[in-house]
Amino acid sequence: MTNIKVGILNSIPDPLLCEMFGRAGYNFAVLDLEHVLISPHQLQHSIRACELGGCIPWVRVPEVDTKLIGRVLDAGAKGIVISRLESADDAALAVSAALFPPLGRRGITGGRVTGFGRTSLVDYIAQTNQEIHIVPMIESIAGVHALPEILTVPGVSLIMEGALDLALDLGLGPDPLHSDVFKSLQQIAEHCHHAGVPFCANPRNDDQHSYWMDLGIKWFLAGEDRGLVLLALRNRASSLRQLSKLIPA
């Protein structure tokens, strides 16, 4: 299963935690600019920390902001995740902002992304245009309907799902496990399969994980670090209290 890629959504903006992701076995981390107030200084250090720990840093942006996408990539991010993408035009705009001519319209700089000159600009352009991930998140019915066209955009390299926001958009409330939501996720995965673009699942229980594995899905999001850390802390405290009850006073 070495070809399975596992990522995590980073909602605790702390470089020390980001450094731990790679050591814990995560392939990529999505640093969140949609729901988290984080300064450029913090983001830069979190990207460095991911690199140091051996985890590839991606950044989720709240919208297709071409200048923001360029700055985030100049800081060292290797992927851009676009929340709630709903049109092929926006997907094309994001690709154009992330890639250099002739594939896009991104402006170039040197600095840390070229090793402060150790990598030539010619080599850096070629490497970037080949390796940068552009990842739309499908989080609405409009996004699901537009997905076949979005998948035709050259440069779109992966599709993520956002089941919680999709549930809200369907009028189901905060219920990502609703059967209608899962039907939409199945549609997303099917569209991706037909287009030859990988689908990244975020399984919320063991049954979903087994379903996606049986379908041959190779990319997974493990969820959000905030919830995982809280769960681990809560379970550890609970287990110690349970053990204490078993020991005679």
Residue 15 is predicted with a pLDDT of 97
Q: What's the CA gap between 111 and 124, in Å, rounded?
A: 11
155: left (phi over 0), alpha (psi -120 to 50) or beta: left
One-letter amino acid identity for 85?
A: L
Residue 74 is predicted with a pLDDT of 96
Residue 243 is predicted with a pLDDT of 76
Distances (CA, A) of 186 to 105, 153, 165, 200, 201: 34, 21, 16, 12, 10
Instruction: At 131, list the tokens.
Output: 């390796």
Q: With a cut of 50, list the residues of the chain below it in pLDDT.
A: 1
Q: What DSSP assignment string belongs to the chain?
A: -TT-EEEEEE-S--HHHHHHHHHTT-SEEEEESSSS---HHHHHHHHHHHHHHT-EEEEEESS--HHHHHHHHHTT-SEEEETT---HHHHHHHHHHHS-TTT-------GGGGTTTTS-HHHHHHHHHHH-EEEEEE-SHHHHHHHHHHTTSTTB--EEE-HHHHHHHTT--S-TT-HHHHHHHHHHHHHHHHHT--EEE---SHHHHHHHHHTT--EEEEEEHHHHHHHHHHHHHHHHHHHHHHS--
Residue 249 is predicted with a pLDDT of 60
Return the closest-CA partner of residue 80 out of 57, 52, 48, 103: 57
Residue range 142-187, pLDDT digits in tens: 999 999 999 999 999 999 999 999 999 999 999 999 999 999 999 9
Phi, psi (degrees; rounded to nearest 5) at 140: -150, 160
Average pLDDT, the chain: 95
pTM for this structure? 0.93
171 C-beta neighbours (distance < 10 Å), count: 8
Residue 101 is predicted with a pLDDT of 97
Distances (CA, A) of 230 to 31, 150, 163: 18, 36, 21
